[in-house]
Structure 1
Amino acid sequence: MAETTHQDKTAKQLRLLEQALDSGRLGPVKRLVNTLSPAEIGNLLESLPPAKRQVVWGLVDAEDDGEVLVHVGEDVREDLLRAMDTDEIVAAAESLDIDDLADLFEDLPDTVIDEVLKSMDRENRERLEQMLTYDEDTAGRLMNPDVVTVRADVTIDVVLRYLRLRGELPEATDHLYVVSRRRQYQGRISLAQLLTADPAVAVNRLIDADQPAIAADTPVSEVAQRFADHDWVSAPVVDDANVLLGRITIDDVVDIIRYQAEHQALGAAGLDEEEDLFAPVPRTTKRRAVWLGINLLTAFLASWVIGNFESVLQQVVACAVLMPIVASMGGVAGTQVQTLMIRAMALGQVSAANAMHLLRKEVLVALANGVLWAVTVGGVALAIYRDVWLAVAFGAAMVINLLASALTGVFLPLFLRRVGIDPALAGGVLLTTVTDCCGFASFLGLSTLLLVR
């Protein structure tokens, strides 16, 4: 329900924006756009054709430019950056927090990068350079280095006076982190404790050491899982020496979860979640042509398998009618298993310890479904064509292909991940190839043995 409401809201905003643009009155457009959050503006920009997108982008308040750039895909970001001059890009970059700037940094022109670095103080420049040393999909790139730290040997009163002297806290601050003289992480203390504890009590009396820190090289998928498992609002990030580097907050984790959901949904179709909906025709054609070409090759492979059984197809026309059913059932069953596997892998639920148990379970499910539907389709084939051996071949091929789909659905995602290929992106094409070829070969092969004299 919440998702539907959000979609309806976005559709309404887009409709109002289109009407205002078509009227030619830019005043209402500017007022409408600048009542939205940067994330909502980014979503609307991605929903507009390039010409209208540039008009709306020019009406966005300059102070929001940086945040909007962070909330759009890479293709749209490149399109927007091309419309900005150097001073505008530098101003937009300077307005961002360090973690958001790290996300945007590699997409900036070299001349702009130099200007941005010159405008930063030494501490923030070092923080940014440190974040950029970590891989893109790790906690080190996701974290915000702006954290409030305290020492364990000071009193609560000292901490409160220090906070008043600071005057403000980073957004989403729910804990202060306790560190040693060498900035090594020791634990945390909540703001609620600070406000309610006796001012004379030392921090080490209230320190919470139960929350483990997250290593900077931890994959973001694992970070998201830890937040979901423990209901964290924030978590500290440390290096190999347990030195506190920064913190990750729940708003960043929500972005990761959304990204993963989009990636799985689009990856299953061989699409890129960063692709601009209104990207130029040549660019989109090039990207999709790769996967269409791979699919074409696999289709030729399936056709080659069928071609090897030309004799049985000429003699038993019913085989040509029935064989797509075998392949289709295997494809659906395999997709079910593979989808569960990819989801389980994303959640860290599959390991070497339980893979064989999972395989046995899926094989038993495939056998049960195979026998059930083999009897069903075999009975239908017998009723229509009055041929017992055709019904036997049809039913047996159904069982064989469902077993093959179960094995492929379990092993293919594991194999693709092992060789460094994204299962969500490549699994669908390869799975379809296996189930088609196995379905055709098993049915036509059995038909050759049982029907051709």
Structure 2
Amino acid sequence: MVESVPNEATEKDISALNDALKEERMGAVTRIVNGIPGAEVALFLESLPVDKRQAVWEVVDEASQGEVLVSLHDEVRDNLIEGMDTDQLVEATRDLDLDDMADIIVDLPEEVSNQLVLSMDKASRDLLNQVLSYDEDSAGGLMNPDVVTVRTDVTVEVVKRYFQFRGSLPTPVGDLFAVGRKGHYIGRIPLGTFLTSDPKTPIKDIIDEDAPAILDKTPASEVAQDFEHNDWISAPVVDDKNILIGRITIDDVVDVIREEAERSVMRMAGLNEEGDMFAPILTSSKRRAVWLGINLLTVLLAAFVIGIFEDTIKEIAVLAALMPVVASMGGIAGSQTLTLMIRGMATGQVGSGNIKDLLSREFMIGVINSFLWAAVLAVLCAFWFKNWDMSVVLGLALGINLVTGALAGVLIPVVLRRMSIDPAIAGGVILTTVTDIVGYVSFLGVATWLLIA
């Protein structure tokens, strides 16, 4: 899937489209929609309510519909596909690249997918089946099997003549990949080196045999890291026998990075399944109800803890006003650490080898911040309530919860990862529960101990 990042030009196009749609100038809508890339059309469609989305979709040129469908979120794509007949769908998708075809064919009605497969030649059909045999979040699922290979026993001139005979190359071109007689991967040929070499130069003399290939079962997140670390434009994909079976290009990796980032943000709010901003209200309500229910349980648990100190709160009413300060500060401190941990796990910077160091580091940060802000808050409280005993209670409780939040921010994602639970989904809720409960218990417990007992 190719997604568009809103830039100044895109925003102008979308603004013009919105104005034309609002004024019902469908001629202008048609001109604008069919004059911008399919990924930008997809972005615009996703920003529209369902009725307006359908009206715009109907004026999208048939030659561009396949590119637009590939660029849409699954939920929006499914809704548009439901309104198209078999002939429309076949016509819109028949000319897609094989990797894009693999992304979309599983979402098409069976009759359409069967027609598309039957319309392909045997070689293309075999390549498509090869991609579909892999998990979509693996290197094999990302790759395009349409890859140009180069033999090592020819010269640069021979390869250039072959390219001229072929007439076109898969885009983006990227580096060339050298293979042996049985198709096993040997190395890559940098495109710049190939283009600037003497025509009589043997291919074997310009091969970088140290350039690694990506194994077909490699997770997509690791593929993205490999591209980042090596500054690749394209990379070869091999099976467990080192046979070159396809290539991954930078545009596919950008999609992976964007999808991972979007998924993480959505999961932290419990919205990982909500791909359509204008999904049916009841559907969205059901999805969000589960997450709200989980949060309600954590709030009730915190309320139960507060209830234990009911007598203390009755005797010193001002405690009720100050309780949220301690809980909130601990929650923010923990969230900062939790965010860094989740990011570090996603980028491979956090592992079993550095957990103890991270725990020690975050503990010291928590201690330093607890001394600083506990002192500030204690002084403010002393001037506000003219009560130094209360300021001591508040300072101690804040210090305890800031340190707790920092430690919890490290430990919670580690424990969740070991339990095979995504920290981005559950980490925030658990952290909030911990810092709320520790904040209330420390504040009300210290108050009971120092002010009442």
Q: Is the TM-score greater than 0.5?
A: yes
- Structure 1 residue 404, shift from structure 2 partner: 1.2
The 3-state SS of whatever aligns with 1:262 is helix
Report whether the alignment pairs 1:119 with 2:119: yes
Partner of 1:16: 16
- Structure 1 residue 189, shift from structure 2 partner: 1.4
Question: 4+ residue runs of structure 1 moved beyond 4 angstroms?
Answer: none
Partner of 1:168: 168
The 3-state SS of whatever aligns with 2:354 is helix
- Structure 1 residue 270, shift from structure 2 partner: 2.1
Partner of 2:405: 405
Alpha-carbon separation, structure 2, partners of 1:30 and 1:192:
41
**Given the two structures, how large is their TM-score scaled by the length of structure 1?**
0.95
How is 1:27-46 mapped onto 2 (pairs within 5 angstroms)? 27-46=27-46
- Structure 1 residue 176, shift from structure 2 partner: 1.5
Alpha-carbon separation, structure 2, partners of 1:328 and 1:285:
28
- Give the residue type in structure 2 aligned to 1:258: R
Alpha-carbon separation, structure 2, partners of 1:440 and 1:446:
10
Assess if the C-alpha contact under 8 Å between 1:73 and 1:274 holds in 2.
Answer: no
The verdict on how the C-alpha distance between 1:157 and 1:15 changes in structure 2, with shifts beyond 3 A counting, is closer
The 3-state SS of whatever aligns with 1:130 is helix
How is 1:260-339 mapped onto 2 (pairs within 5 angstroms)? 260-272=260-272, 274-339=274-339
- Give the residue type in structure 1 aligned to 2:433: T
- Structure 1 residue 273, shift from structure 2 partner: 6.8
Count of residue pairs brought into register by the alignment: 449
Alpha-carbon separation, structure 1, partners of 2:7 and 2:153:
51
- Give the residue type in structure 2 aligned to 1:300: L
Alpha-carbon separation, structure 2, partners of 1:97 and 1:389:
72
Alpha-carbon separation, structure 2, partners of 1:348 and 1:187:
26
Q: Deviations over 1:287-346 (max 9, x none)?
A: 111111111111101101101111111111121111110000011111111111111111
The 3-state SS of whatever aligns with 2:353 is helix
Assess if the C-alpha contact under 8 Å between 2:34 and 2:60 holds in 1.
Answer: yes
Assess if the C-alpha contact under 8 Å between 1:330 and 1:439 holds in 2.
Answer: yes
Partner of 1:394: 394
- Structure 1 residue 103, shift from structure 2 partner: 1.3
Report whether the alignment pairs 1:77 with 2:102: no
- Structure 1 residue 262, shift from structure 2 partner: 2.0
Alpha-carbon separation, structure 2, partners of 1:97 and 1:132:
14
- Give the residue type in structure 1 aligned to 2:445: G
Q: Deviations over 1:145-188 (max 9, x none)?
A: 11111111222232222222211111111222111122111101
How is 1:177-188 mapped onto 2 (pairs within 5 angstroms)? 177-188=177-188
The 3-state SS of whatever aligns with 1:352 is coil
- Give the residue type in structure 2 aligned to 1:70: V
Alpha-carbon separation, structure 2, partners of 1:12 and 1:192:
36
The verdict on how the C-alpha distance between 1:282 and 1:274 changes in structure 2, with shifts beyond 3 A counting, is closer
- Structure 1 residue 274, shift from structure 2 partner: 4.9
How is 1:48-127 mapped onto 2 (pairs within 5 angstroms)? 48-127=48-127
The 3-state SS of whatever aligns with 1:353 is coil
How is 1:212-291 mapped onto 2 (pairs within 5 angstroms)? 212-272=212-272, 274-291=274-291
Q: Deviations over 1:45-99 (max 9, x none)?
A: 0011111111111111111111111111111101110111111112222121111
The verdict on how the C-alpha distance between 1:324 and 1:23 changes in structure 2, with shifts beyond 3 A counting, is closer
Assess if the C-alpha contact under 8 Å between 1:185 and 1:244 holds in 2.
Answer: yes
Assess if the C-alpha contact under 8 Å between 2:146 and 2:170 holds in 1.
Answer: yes
Alpha-carbon separation, structure 2, partners of 1:338 and 1:93:
43
- Give the residue type in structure 1 aligned to 2:208: D
Alpha-carbon separation, structure 2, partners of 1:7 and 1:297:
42
Partner of 2:138: 138
Alpha-carbon separation, structure 1, partners of 2:274 and 2:239:
30
Q: Deviations over 1:226-263 (max 9, x none)?
A: 21222111111111111111111111111222222222
Alpha-carbon separation, structure 2, partners of 1:304 and 1:250:
52
Assess if the C-alpha contact under 8 Å between 1:160 and 1:194 holds in 2.
Answer: no
Assess if the C-alpha contact under 8 Å between 1:139 and 1:220 holds in 2.
Answer: yes
CA RMSD of aligned residues (A): 1.7
Of 251-260 and 295-304, more deviation after overlay is shown by 251-260
- Structure 1 residue 7, shift from structure 2 partner: 4.9
Alpha-carbon separation, structure 1, partners of 2:134 and 2:217:
7
- Give the residue type in structure 1 aligned to 2:346: A
- Structure 1 residue 23, shift from structure 2 partner: 3.3
Partner of 1:378: 378
Partner of 1:353: 353
- Structure 1 residue 209, shift from structure 2 partner: 1.6
- Give the residue type in structure 2 aligned to 1:355: I
**Given the two structures, how large is their TM-score scaled by the length of structure 2?**
0.95
The 3-state SS of whatever aligns with 1:321 is helix
The 3-state SS of whatever aligns with 2:108 is coil
Assess if the C-alpha contact under 8 Å between 2:175 and 2:233 holds in 1.
Answer: no
The verdict on how the C-alpha distance between 1:322 and 1:274 changes in structure 2, with shifts beyond 3 A counting, is closer
The 3-state SS of whatever aligns with 2:145 is coil
Q: Deviations over 1:115-161 (max 9, x none)?
A: 12111222222222221222221111111111111111222232222
The verdict on how the C-alpha distance between 1:22 and 1:399 changes in structure 2, with shifts beyond 3 A counting, is closer
